[in-house]
Amino acid sequence: MLDPARVFIALGSNLGDRDALLRRARALLAALPGTALCAASRLYETAPVGGPDQDDYLNQVVELRTSLAPWDLLAGAQEIENELDRRRLVRWGPRTIDVDILWYDDFEGSDPRLEVPHPRMEERRFVLEPLAELAPDLVLPSGRTVAEALAGVQDQDVRLFAAETAAAYPRGSENRVMDQAAVHAEIRRLAKAKDAVILAHNYQRPEVQDVADFVGDSLGLSRQAAASPARVIIFCGVHFMAETAAILAPNKTVIMPDVNAGCPMAEMVDAEGLKALKAAHPGAVVVSYVNTTAAVKALSDICCTSANAVKIVQSIPADKEIIFTPDRNLGAWAAKKAGRQLILWQGFCPTHELIDVVDIQLAREKHPNAKVVVHPECSSEVAEMADAVESTSGMIRFCCNDDAKEYLIGTELGMLHRLRMDCPGKQYYPVTELTICPNMKMTTLDKVLKALQNDGPVVTVDAGTRAKALLAVERMVEVGP
């Protein structure tokens, strides 16, 4: 490893959700081994150079400190371009992302694949303008400083992207950016050193999603927990999810960055109450949403997630009664889709029940071309009004495969980040800004770092409960989405 070098990298995008793509590129740069993102310029727009008519570029320059050698950094930059779906079929075609190394302290490269300092940077205002925010006194190969070179290209059209973006990167914000980027880099370093895999639910904070190895819904994360070869699982979600991972992977250490992050819906059903309901309906099959405690899972015949609830209800013989816990809304939706009568526990998600039919009406008036996609934890009245009722993984599939350009999303707000990452190039609006699950937001980047540093807090499930709950959880995983 080398001592950390100062590097400036130009980012550009003119295809898809450019702002989101640049944000993702910054997070991926910060996640490179031995690398911290120290500063980011504001965003600038400019017309493409040398190509046929196409959309304007969004440009930015970022400053890194990295221990990667120049060629390793280039390989990392190219991996980021691949991950963000850059196509190299047409030389001057539009692209989701450009990641160009402009400058690497004390290094000069003349290989056509690694020309550093970048040979055309002094001619281009869209490079010099953001670079001047970070390093106006940097002396370029011509002997001029960045500020002097910038004065010579003022005739080129380069505009600040938008007022709100400018506000997001005020001068002097570098420390804030550096703090988060440095924490991100340290988390990735420790995860590797400790053989840990980081799993994050779709409702987690964007920066927590960005540092994770896998982001997904309960079912997807359960599968990752079971299949991952890692020794340690850092579970960024709520308590029942970490418990489910501990049930599926007893030989791994399951750690929750904030062990107090619970799920109010999961706490609405208790083992004693469920035992009483089972006694009143002997012979009934108990289907429990995965949002339940291990003790309730141990009393259940099969678990389900919102992605496979309908399939699981359909799989139960028609002559059997079915008890469904704890979510009355998911249960009512699954009953309708599967054409079955269910005995519903009267639990609910307080976050999804905040969405009202009036919110849908108002949101539709504001975005008349948007399709409404809601989660089945919403009330039946809200689900009735939607164009689609989907689990979080279903929302991604639906929006990626659908030809609309705008969507109103009725679920926890963290999902909008995931949609922007996975289905860029479309607009996503929340049905209401109120749908923030306080428990899901308890996990912060700092807590993820502390969890890795302290090897805890560890979540365990006692062996007796685990053995009973495992059957129900394994059946859920086997059925799949």
Active site residues: 86, 95, 98, 100
Nearer to ligand SF4, 100 or 377 (CB): 377
Element at 38 (helix H, strand E) = strand 35-40
Q: If binding is defined by CB under 6 A, does position 41 make contact with ligand SF4?
A: no
Give residue 359's identity as a one-letter amino acid code: D
Q: If binding is defined by CB under 6 A, does position 265 make contact with ligand SF4?
A: yes
Dihedral of CA atoms 131, 135, 136, 139 in degrees, nearest 10, equals -100
Q: If binding is defined by CB under 6 A, does position 264 make contact with ligand SF4?
A: yes
SS3 content of the chain, % helix, strand, coil (to 5): 40, 20, 40
Per DSSP bridges, beta strands 159-160 and 343-344 are unpaired
The rounded radius of gyration (Å) of the Cα atoms in the chain is: 25
The nearest distance, CB 383 to ligand SF4, in angstroms, is 15
Q: If binding is defined by CB under 6 A, does position 440 make contact with ligand SF4?
A: yes
Give residue 396's identity as a one-letter amino acid code: I
Site string for ligand SF4, 182-211 (x = CB under 6 A): ---------------------x--------
Q: If binding is defined by CB under 6 A, does position 349 make contact with ligand SF4?
A: yes
Q: Which stretch binds ligand SF4 (CB under 6 A): 25-33, 259-267, 329-337, 397-405?
A: 259-267
Q: Which stretch binds ligand SF4 (CB under 6 A): 19-27, 32-40, 137-145, 435-443?
A: 435-443
Question: Is the Cβ–Cβ distance between 198 and 187 less than 8 Å?
Answer: yes
Q: Is the dihedral of CA 379, 385, 390, 392 positive or negative?
A: negative
The secondary structure of residue 392, as a DSSP letter, is: H
Of 263, 370, 389, 469, the one binding ligand SF4 by CB under 6 A:
263
The nearest distance, CB 74 to ligand SF4, in angstroms, is 42
Q: If binding is defined by CB under 6 A, does position 351 make contact with ligand SF4?
A: yes
Of 439, 445, 473, 479, the one binding ligand SF4 by CB under 6 A:
439
Nearer to ligand SF4, 289 or 428 (CB): 289
Nearer to ligand SF4, 263 or 473 (CB): 263
Instruction: Report the alpha-carbon distance of residue 252 to residue 443 in Å, rounded.
Output: 21
Nearer to ligand SF4, 10 or 416 (CB): 416
Nearer to ligand SF4, 66 or 204 (CB): 204
Instruction: Report the alpha-carbon distance of residue 293 to residue 196 in Å, rounded.
Output: 24
Q: If binding is defined by CB under 6 A, does position 238 make contact with ligand SF4?
A: yes
The nearest distance, CB 328 to ligand SF4, in angstroms, is 13
Instruction: Report the alpha-carbon distance of residue 29 to residue 27 in Å, rounded.
Output: 5
The nearest distance, CB 349 to ligand SF4, in angstroms, is 3
Nearer to ligand SF4, 59 or 351 (CB): 351
Q: How far is CA 234 from CA 78, 255, 257, 416, 455, in A?
A: 28, 5, 7, 23, 9
The nearest distance, CB 334 to ligand SF4, in angstroms, is 15
Nearer to ligand SF4, 43 or 263 (CB): 263
Instruction: Report the alpha-carbon distance of residue 268 to residue 276 in Å, rounded.
Output: 15
Q: How far is CA 6 from CA 90, 267, 381, in A?
A: 32, 50, 56
Residue that has been written with the tokens 């640049």 in this structure: 22
Tell me phi and psi for residue 465, to 5 degrees. Answer: -65, -40
Residues that bind ligand SF4 (CB under 6 A): 203, 238, 263-265, 291, 349-351, 412, 437, 439-440
